[in-house]
């Protein structure tokens, strides 16, 4: 069964953004609040990458505002993602991982792992209780 994913992204400045899930990939400059609609048919990783930013540039970022699975939305969906920023080497190195973040200020990738059927993943993510697997 196919699952519809809708992602709302908000820019700070004009960040370069790449979205990847399954075979879908889109690379663009985010210049306004934008909804991205995707259809997926298998479990996977949703990746949102902030790239092309100069290390000394504090003026761009990407905010993951909302994610919907088959029109169902909850803030907990966003906070299941993990942000892997690529800090400049003179700051902290590149081995920092930031779970539960939706503000992508440095070059790096935000990854949300999900499984299908999506309603089982939603049930577990929202902690609705026991479920038969």
Instruction: Return the H-helix or E-strand segment holding 109.
Output: strand 108-114
The predicted-structure confidence for 26-70, as pLDDT tens digits, reads as follows 999 999 999 999 999 888 899 999 999 988 888 999 999 999 999
pLDDT attached to residue 93: 60
| 14 lies in some domain | yes
| 132 lies in some domain | no
pLDDT attached to residue 119: 92
| 109 lies in some domain | yes
The pTM of this model reads 0.91
| 133 lies in some domain | no
| 77 lies in some domain | yes
| 82 lies in some domain | yes
DSSP 73-108: E-HHHHTT-EEEE---TTTT-S---EET--EE-SSE
Which CATH number does the domain housing residue 39 bear? 2.60.60.40
Beta bridge partners of 41: none
- HSE-CB for 116 with a 13 A CA cutoff: 16
Question: Could you give the number of structural domains in the chain?
Answer: 1
Mean pLDDT of 9-22: 96
Does residue 21 surpass a pLDDT of 90?
yes
pLDDT attached to residue 28: 96
| 70 lies in some domain | yes
| 104 lies in some domain | yes
The predicted-structure confidence for 76-127, as pLDDT tens digits, reads as follows 999 999 999 988 777 666 678 999 999 999 999 999 999 999 999 999 999 8
Q: Which domain holds residue 12?
A: 3-125
């Amino acid at each position: 069964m196919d699952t519809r994913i809708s992602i709302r992204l908000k820019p700070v400045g004009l960040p370069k953004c790449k979205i990847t899930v399954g075979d879908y990939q889109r690379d663009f400059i985010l210049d306004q609040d934008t909804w991205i609609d995707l259809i997926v048919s298998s479990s996977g990783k949703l990746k949102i990458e902030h790239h092309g930013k100069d290390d000394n540039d504090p003026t761009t970022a990407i905010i993951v505002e909302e994610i919907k699975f088959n029109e169902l939305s909850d803030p907990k969906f966003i906070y299941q993602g993990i942000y892997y920023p690529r800090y400049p080497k003179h700051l902290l190195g590149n081995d920092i991982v930031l779970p539960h973040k939706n503000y992508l200020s440095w070059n790096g990738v935000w990854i949300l792992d999900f499984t299908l059927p999506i309603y089982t993943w939603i049930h577990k993510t929202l902690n609705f209780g026991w479920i038969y697997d």
